[in-house]
Structure 1
């Protein structure tokens, strides 16, 4: 069971080696010879054979040779792809700290269901980042999941050069490594190799038990135990208290496993003082124990001393850390003690588990607490624990794997016992892309709350109404996760007025739902309004995921609207929030900030900065939740590949995303990625390939079903159609499409889409011979983009823009050029980039932070540009020539400027603009 906050650290370190341990130097040397070159070492033997001891010695020997080594001790909970992947990644990070950070972020943020794809990525990452190293996997008998086994089989078959594996198991390994055996790249260590020799038995008994045996007694011990280390240990424990001849005791122990339980009862447990015996039984359910936990579970303040006494008596106690804080019993001994405890006092066993559960909960280990309660079959207690923790874990921490794991282990009959359990489960299903199940669960809650059965929850009318609001809130969020935009808006807008101010979490969630949905419809003002509300209410609720989502959506609206400076400030704010909350650089919140920062850098043509952020943001390609981060991550990565002339990689990224979108039935994501792929192909002047992409995805004009597309999608496809016409030399139909996009009802007048439309319209006008009007259109785009250096929408028109840029440069008079400043910088950067010349990064001034609170927009971008020229002292004729306008048009703009600023002449206009910080 994975905890969001951290994994159990003791599983990632080898047990502390006892200084008295018998060295298996010969075995270790044989294995080490192979590991130096790279290979597989298997240690397969029954429990109690000394597998872990040998593994620990070998790990130590490898480290002494300065070969990187990692360790993972497995248990039954690791037979789950998500849990195994998280622990495996963390184990490898002991060798290479940056290993699979993207995948780790995705796993922690949301469960991933396509584990074969995830494991393929891990295999690829190993090949890229790990060179000469050894990975130790202990207690492999717990692993049978086919996806995990497929991963390890592939790792064995296509092992990165220099990487070795050491696996220990009680049973034969269910892995395919015959080819490695034939190639001499496997060392197999079985039980016979692990059995003690006469000399080793003698040394062991003397070191651990101060017992010396004659040669004949050693031979009898060998005959009885066959050198089995645990058998020798049991005899040693018994001999310390045996008063007769050693031979009598040795001969009473015949065979191995079949006599173990009887022998432990008769010769070991019964020989311990009563207080030690009770301590052993009462602590046996603990998978790991500390002195404080032992006090809590036994109720005995002497527990720390008893724990120390058990260790000194060599009663199968294993230290899990070098500080001596955490311990566990040897698995065989623990299994025996648990069985004996249940047989003697089943109620006491359950009581110990409940005490352990309570202790773990108060110490911040909710997953272990639930696990103890479930193991004791104390399902009511488990229900209470889950109810107290599930909403925080799922809704506030975003740890959906843990909640779903709890529900898998809690009998279904208990799933309806508490509304918070039912709704937390539904929430986690929604954010794990199991939206149908989420809707069914939340509807089940609504039905129960609306029926007389709600009385089984003992709810007051006020509480019933409150939980009904939460259930409806979960449904709204589920529709956002399934990208059901219209239904999400309808539900969220209807519910929002019903939510009181005392429920900030609900208010923040609904605000995010509305912001997300309006953003999908490209209704940016509404999206921004609700994003700001989400930020405020999320902070009130102390729900950093919700406030971060609000900031992320707000940032996206600013990017789409062309306010890149303000978006950059928001991205930095989200990153600071992540750091302030101690979430780390690879958290979900930090990932949202990185996505936003990468998008801003892309829009500025700052591909070096994009690369710095994309490593974190790329993880969202594999996250199962709302699709917008996934879309942004895929677009960013594809555009970065194109900037590096890696167009095939870009198309592959987008096609992989389309496959995932079809699999998850996300039509909007599929259409957006198909449009992006075709648009990049048009930018590369590959119109035939763009047409093939549209044909393959069913998006050719003749194949489209308009009623299945939103207006935003139809407009995006209309721009793409215009690009196809331009690429095929058919400018007039392109011009008609672009004119309707630019001048039609509800047309976007600012931001990236408006810039792209204006730029393409300039090219269409150029192609039909309207050179001067084409220049005016392009200048309009440059003026609108210059202050923020919003270059990507213009750049995406491709090299067809070059003749028009050259024409514009020739036509600008020198007097006007001196005052154009940012416009000329943008114009020259585009000419260099599209012409293949060396170009520097965007001007640093473009990235200067501005207030997120936007200044009232009293002047248009054209009017602002004219004001700057007025400040430079240009005449009306110079203004007209520089801006590719007629003199009457310049006068008309001046009249509007004077009117808006409340002045009557040029000088007064400049003075007013300076006073108001417009210039």
Structure 2
């Protein structure tokens, strides 16, 4: 039977008088383990020769080795040489150690041995300090890409021996194993982790476990730990790795998760994945990824989520399908019988039914509350007395806050002073091991105690809210609720102590190269100068991994004055503001602040701030289309930034390469970008290397080299991926580029995945970088006929462009896309779209001549060719085919460079359609053949498919007129035949006069009255206008509808859906 005062076995400092392990103490305290190998009658004198312990202890069932220890402890009270027992032999030491390590031995016996180790000469140390770094570093990854995995987060918490069986809950868990999800959701302290871990260790099926923390609320980090947890499955055929597929995706993307699901489907037997403390996850991307997993989970994997709050997952849908088992607070509350069993197991006291009912009601079946109540009740017990349970339970009342305060006072204060001090001081740590605790507990002189490992193991044995994190019981954490209470207590009793403790923890983590933890403790300890220095040391590595949110979170906790003392941090903050699309006024202000701070606080590190700002200024110039200024600034940066600062020099060289390309120095620009890629890779600068590869891929795409562009984008993806398959946020640029290529190849499903995941990835660090993805999605949805989704994507793009005011290029691009879509809608009779096109043409100063504007800026010249192409389409649907053809054949070629074959293909396709509309079929067919010959090697499809039925008819003529089989024409025709019909039929522009879309509001009012048979005079009277005005409106209606009578006008209006 367990002892009623278990906590008293905790060892006091070596050299203190030990009373709790005396023979008299042992005699009155029965054993929980039944005595491992113990006889029923033991003579202490026979075992040890100690006359002071000559009385036999009958029937207690303790291990004889423990009794030996007890008598050795008694010698401390004896005078020197007076009946002292002899030192145990080496063999006896080994046997004693084996007894200590025996899992069947109770905590009281183990506590006695633990207490004795400081007194027994030659006894091997049972609990050495933990110095092993529980971090796995993937050495195959570049230094800046090292992903640290705390393996203790992957261990299944081991159930305690005092665990009360709860078969009703285990049966519920087992019954739901064939469903997709088990959701264990309840407030803190309801035993969620304990229950699931008991199920995991009791069953025969394999379990993978992931204990989540606040830092895991990052998609990239979450992905790393998810894969690491799954790799612990013993039945895994081979470790999960980054698959070399047609399109590798970002972390948590549907395509990336699909690869993972496919690997999970190969598991030879059903397994279970547990995500514990899921309430700490708030990131939408992670929630969406888990929802995707649940939608497609193979039968080989069952997911368990333990959380304090319902996650934003499609629980209702899963519930309707019978695919989720839910265990909530109602199920987890201890029943009357379970509470009785638990209290008896922990305290050894037989509570009355009334006592149990009152205590269960007070705690509402809350497991943590019952446990703290039991510990508090133990603290009221004095040796040789029986606690007044009735008085205790009746005193156990009040509000929840009062009850928690009572627990702290009773549970915490019942511990020895040394243990109280240990608990309070180490409560600032999220994870504990002996070495770390020793460092935190060191005194002002730096002297470190060497007993933390032993205390941790004793606390573990005493069940004092300490959770082991590994099988070796070297790393621990406090129960979260207990940690919160300890931290509150520390803040109340010694508020000045916490900063010092955090500082010591920071120093320890820094010494072990765990800089994120070192920075976190420095910030929590308000040692802002130290935190800033650590951030400054690691900022480039953090940015190279695209961990922008981490960097910003650190800066948000630093006072402005501290940041100003570190102008380099201020400068990098400005970089991020630019990438994130902040308003220009804020960017400019922050940049000026950084430069001014460098002047105000001169030092060796701040002297180069103006030079370091030059690459940033050069990119700002590029955003504004000022390419010559960008080149000057880039060259200045390369001249002034020292060679060892490879990160900023690579940014400057990249900017210079872009400037050279924009100013026509194509060969020089390409060569420089190649060199930047090579040097960045060599230096481990993943961020710049991946971005430059994406830029090179974009150039290849513009040159019509789609396969080469695909190859470069994939190189960027591989580069932005570590050994575990984790994607950096910068990989989103490559994904969106691939989406555009796959859209052109008409593999729309793959393209949509690429766009969406590229957007999700880039929006986590730069909203404006996602603009290209939304533009691509808009085109894709429109091509599918999904006008609602297309409009939603386009509006999102417009919002991003509006917010990012550093450049006008994004606004012009989005307006250009809106104009092109409005042209199509106007052709189908949408009056609002037609009016919008007319307004856009006026704003952009585009008329039927197609002549260029006087503005010769890079931005205008770069975009004008696209605007002229939209103008040609507008003229075409208006029936002004000759003028449209003139724009395509005369004006536009002056703006289409030779390295834009993709755009030339679009020009040729539209030109063929317009020639056909003019009745010039032979020229139309020749033009189309030229386009087909140019498109075949790279597989262009969407450029032709978007022209619709008119081009398909021409394509059929090409095939029928060709003496030899035109293979690519046949391929393209098959793509036309496979096209899904749009959601709303789109009439051909050749048969719908666009001027019909330009009816004025008054003309539409007149048109609505025509079917009524009213005379012109009556119509004028109804509309309160003169007869002459009514006749004028009717004449305009005839002209725009190409009608010659009222009957024809009505019939035409009905055909077009205007009536």
TM (normalized to structure 2)?
0.61
- The reply to whether residue 756 of structure 1 matches residue 913 of structure 2 is no
Q: Provide the residue aligned with 2:524 in structure 1.
A: 375
CA gap 1:413/1:614 in 2 versus in 1, 3 angstroms: closer
Write the distance in 2 (CA, Å) between the matches of 1:320 and 1:427: 40
Matches within 5 A, 1:455-494: 455=602, 459-460=603-604, 463-477=605-619, 491-492=633-634
CA apart distance, 1:444: 0.8
- 2:134 corresponding residue in structure 1: none
Q: Which among 416, 432, 441 is matched to residue 272 of structure 1?
A: 416
Alpha-carbon shift at residue 336 of structure 1 (Å): 4.6
Distance of 1:796 and 1:524 partners within structure 2: 31
Residue 419 of structure 2 corresponds to residue 419 of structure 1 = no
Q: Cα distance, 1:229 vs. partner?
A: 1.2
SS in 2 for 1:617: helix
Shift of 1:784: 3.3
Asked whether the equivalents of residues 564 and 600 of structure 1 are also in contact (C-alpha less than 8 Å), the reply is yes
Partner of 1:557: 699
Residues 227-273 of structure 1 deviation map (CA, whole Å, 9 limit, x = unaligned)? 84144332365368x32413269857833564866775677556437
Determine helix, strand or coil for the equivalent of 1:588.
Answer: coil
Equivalent residue in structure 2 for 1:454, among 601, 604, 607: 601
Residue 355 of structure 1 and its aligned partner are, at CA, apart by 2.5
Q: Distance in 1 between matches of 2:149 and 2:539?
A: 18
Change (3 A) 1:825 1:645: farther
Query: What's the offset of the Cα at 1:578?
Result: 3.7
Q: Is the 8 A contact 1:718 1:737 kept in 2?
A: yes
Alpha-carbon distance in structure 1 between the residues aligned to 2:844 and 2:882: 22
The structure-2 alpha-carbon separation of the partners of 1:219 and 1:620, relative to structure 1 and needing over 3 Å to count, comes to closer
1:536 matched residue in structure 2: 678
Cα distance change on mapping 1:165 and 1:758 into 2, 3 Å: same
For 1:836 and 1:103, locate their aligned partners in 2 and report how far apart those are by CA, in whole Å: 25
Q: Which residue of 1 aligns with 2:931?
A: 781
Of 514, 534, 551, the match for 1:403? 551
Distance 1:280 1:237, change over 3 A: farther
Instruction: Tell me what 1:286 maps to.
Output: 429
- 1:415-466 residue CA offsets vs partner (Å, 9 max, x unmatched): 21212322233233333333544433222111222x3x133xxx13xx4442
Q: Is the Cα–Cα contact under 8 Å of residues 614 and 637 in structure 1 kept in the other structure?
A: yes
2:396 is paired with a residue of what secondary structure? coil
- Verify: 1:688 aligned to 2:828, yes or no: yes
Cα 1:541–1:710 change in 2 (3 A) is farther
Task: Using the TM superposition, give the Cα deviation of residue 138 of structure 1 relative to its aligned residue in structure 2, in angstroms.
Answer: 3.7
Asked if residue 360 in structure 1 is aligned to residue 509 in structure 2, the reply is yes
Match of 2:801 among 654, 661, 685: 661
Quick check: 2:185–2:326 contact (8 Å CA) kept in 1?
yes
2-structure distance, mates of 1:235, 1:369: 36
Question: In the aligned structure 1, how far is the partner of 2:146 from the partner of 2:255?
Answer: 11
- Aligned equivalent of 1:573, options 698, 715, 722: 715
- Asked which structure has the greater CA Rg, the reply is 2
On the 8 A contact 1:488/1:514 being kept in 2, the answer is: yes
d(CA) in 1 for partners of 2:606, 2:920: 68
The corresponding residue for 2:743 is 602
Q: Which moved more, 1:353-362 or 1:692-701?
A: 692-701
Note if contact 1:562-1:788 (Cα within 8 Å) is conserved in structure 2. yes
Out of 722, 725, 739, the position equivalent to 2:889 is: 739
CA–CA distance in structure 2, aligned partners of residues 606 and 76 of structure 1: 39
Match in the other structure for 1:146: none
Equivalents in 1 of 2:626, 2:704: separation in Å?
Answer: 27
Matched position secondary structure for 2:616 = helix
The residue that corresponds to 2:136 in the other structure is none
Structure 1 range deviating more: 221-230 or 600-609: 221-230
Alignment pair present for 1:503 and 2:645: yes
Structure 1 residues 751, 521: closer, same or farther in 2, change over 3 A?
Answer: farther
Q: Does 1:442 align with 2:591?
A: yes
CA distance in 2, matches of 1:642, 1:835: 18
Asked if the contact 1:698–1:704 (Cα under 8 Å) also holds between the matched residues in 2, the reply is no
Q: Distance in 2 between matches of 1:758 and 1:377?
A: 66
In the alignment, the residues of structure 1 paired with residue 574 and residue 719 of structure 2 have an alpha-carbon distance, to the nearest angstrom, of 28
Q: Does 1:247 align with 2:387?
A: yes
Structure 1 residue 517 displacement after superposition: 7.0
Distance between the aligned counterparts of 2:822 and 2:923, measured in 1? 27
Higher helix fraction (1 or 2): 1
**Per-residue deviation at 1:810?**
6.1
Q: 1:573 to 1:747 in 2, by over 3 A?
A: closer
Shift of 1:326: 3.6
- TM-score, normalised to structure 1, is 0.69
Match of 2:801, SS? helix
Question: Do residues 22 (structure 1) and 164 (structure 2) align?
Answer: yes
The 1:746–1:494 alpha-carbon spacing in structure 2 relative to 1, beyond 3 Å, is farther
3-state SS in 2 of match to 1:781 = helix
Match of 2:70 in 1: none
Equivalent residue runs for 1:382-393 within 5 Å: 382-393=531-542
Contact 2:634 2:652 in 1 (8 A): yes
SS at 2:938 equivalent: coil
- Distance in 1 (CA, whole Å) between partners of 2:396 and 2:750 is 69
Deviates most, 493-502 or 68-77? 68-77
Deviation at 1:835, TM superposition (A): 5.8
Partner of residue 454, structure 2: 305
Distance 2:535 2:255 in 1: 25
Q: Secondary structure at the match of 1:431?
A: helix
**1:183 counterpart residue number:** none
1:560 deviates by 0.6
With over 3 angstroms needed to count, the CA separation of the structure-2 counterparts of 1:801 and 1:93, relative to structure 1, is farther
CA distance in 1, matches of 2:326, 2:662: 50
**Corresponding residue of 1:350:** 499
1:622/1:794 CA distance change after superposition, 3 Å: same
Q: How many residues align?
A: 767
Rate the CA distance shift 1:446–1:283 in 2: closer, same or farther, 3 A: same
d(CA) in 1 for partners of 2:148, 2:830: 46
Q: Residue deviations 1:836-862, cap 9 Å, x none?
A: 699xxxxxxxxxxxxxxxxxxxxxxxx
Contact 1:71 1:136 in 2 (8 A): no
Structure 2: segments with no counterpart, 5+ residues? 1-144, 231-239, 241-248, 258-281, 442-447, 846-852, 981-1059
Matched, 1:719 2:853: no
State the Cα distance separating 1:711 from its structure 2 match.
1.9
Q: Which residue of structure 2 lines up, in the alignment, with residue 856 of structure 1?
A: none
- 1:797 is the counterpart of 2:941: no
Q: Deviations over 1:811-854 (max 9, x none)?
A: 66x5xx59xxxxx433333344346699xxxxxxxxxxxxxxxx
**SS of match in other structure, 2:710:** helix
Q: For residue 307 of structure 1, report the CA deviation from its aligned partner.
A: 1.4
Paired position in structure 1 for 2:195: 57
Q: Is the 8 A contact 2:379 2:411 kept in 1?
A: yes
**Could you say if the C-alpha distance between residues 76 and 825 of structure 1 is closer, same or farther in structure 2, counting changes exceeding 3 Å?**
closer
Question: What's the Cα RMSD here?
Answer: 5.3
Of 54-63 and 669-678, more deviation after overlay is shown by: 54-63
2-side partners of 1:34 and 1:483: how far apart? Answer: 60
Output the CA distance in 2 between the equivalents of 1:563 and 1:715. Answer: 20
Instruction: Find the residue that maps to 2:477 and give its secondary structure.
Output: strand
Q: 1:329 aligns with which of 451, 454, 478?
A: 478
- The answer to whether the 8 A contact 2:185-2:306 is kept is no
* Partner Cα separation in structure 1 for residue 527 and residue 486 of structure 2: 20
1:455-492 Cα deviation digits (max 9, x unpaired): 3xxx13xx444222223333444666799988756754
Gap change, CA 1:73 and 1:534, over 3 Å in 2: same
Residue equivalent to 1:315? 464
Q: Which runs of 5+ in 1 are unaligned?
A: 107-114, 141-148, 168-186, 819-823, 839-919
Note closer, same or farther for the CA distance 1:602–1:588 as it changes in structure 2 (3 Å cut): same
The structure-2 alpha-carbon separation of the partners of 1:806 and 1:234, relative to structure 1 and needing over 3 Å to count, comes to: closer
